[in-house]
Amino acid sequence: MPSPRTSFAVVSHKGLLYVSGGNENEISTSLCSIRSVVVLNTSQEWSALPDLIHGRTGHSMAVTATNRLLVAGGSFWEHGYSSIFDPSAITSVEVLQLGVQGAAWELVAELPQGKVTPCLCSPQWCDKLLLFGGNNEPLTTFYAYDSTANTWNEGPTALPPSTASDSDDDDVSTELHDRIAFVVDVQTCT
């Protein structure tokens, strides 16, 4: 990576690896959220994309079926202070149209509430995004973003309460296959 960072978001799309935000320093007393976004191409070369509107860490990133890079949630760190346990965690959502010369990040509909380290995934059969979990939210809270209507809607429970109450939200992974979202607690493999 062009510069070291921690707590960034990463997504792979069409052979490219996108990295956004994070902290620019590993020393907890001087952490500072950054706005930069970089992409690694198939020749193993890094290049810069436009900066995010807001610096953020502990956020998620996904690519929609219409080739839009979306960044959601997270918290803002400045000189070692974080909003990670603050109810005012970042609610803004930013989107960048990939493959368009001169494209810039735009703000779209905000999350219903701030989320730190949420899980965000994009079914490739539609232009919607699924978001759930996070440090400050039960794993069962599930939202769907409709990019056509530019709205977030609360969805059905993502996991049964017995599974969600035993889960550590930091250790959850998701995979989409054949129109089914699989959510796995990587500690218990449930």
Question: Which tens digits make up the pLDDT trace of 58-84?
Answer: 899 999 888 899 999 888 876 555 544
Is residue 28 assigned to a domain?
yes
Strands 37-40 and 46-49: antiparallel
H/E stretch holding 13: strand 9-13
Is residue 4 assigned to a domain?
no
Per-residue confidence (pLDDT) for residue 157, from 0 to 100: 59
Contact partners, residue 79, CB within 8 Å, separation at least 6:
29, 30, 31, 32
- The CATH number given to whatever domain includes residue 24 is 2.120.10.80
Is residue 2 assigned to a domain?
no
Is residue 176 assigned to a domain?
yes
Find the domain containing 74 and state its range. 9-185
Is residue 48 assigned to a domain?
yes
Question: For the chain, what is the radius of gyration of the CA atoms?
Answer: 16
Give the HSE-up count for residue 184: Cα atoms under 13 Å, Cβ half-sphere. Answer: 10
Please tell me the pTM assigned to this model: 0.77
Per-residue confidence (pLDDT) for residue 34, from 0 to 100: 86
Mean pLDDT by 10 residues, the chain (190 residues): 85 93 70 88 94 91 89 77 55 93 94 80 71 66 84 70 42 46 42
Q: Total domain count for the chain? A: 1
Is residue 78 assigned to a domain?
yes
Q: Let me know how long the chain is.
A: 190
Is residue 96 assigned to a domain?
yes
Which alpha helices (DSSP H) does the chain contain, by range? 161-165
Give the HSE-up count for residue 21: Cα atoms under 13 Å, Cβ half-sphere. Answer: 28
Is residue 19 assigned to a domain?
yes
DSSP 133: -
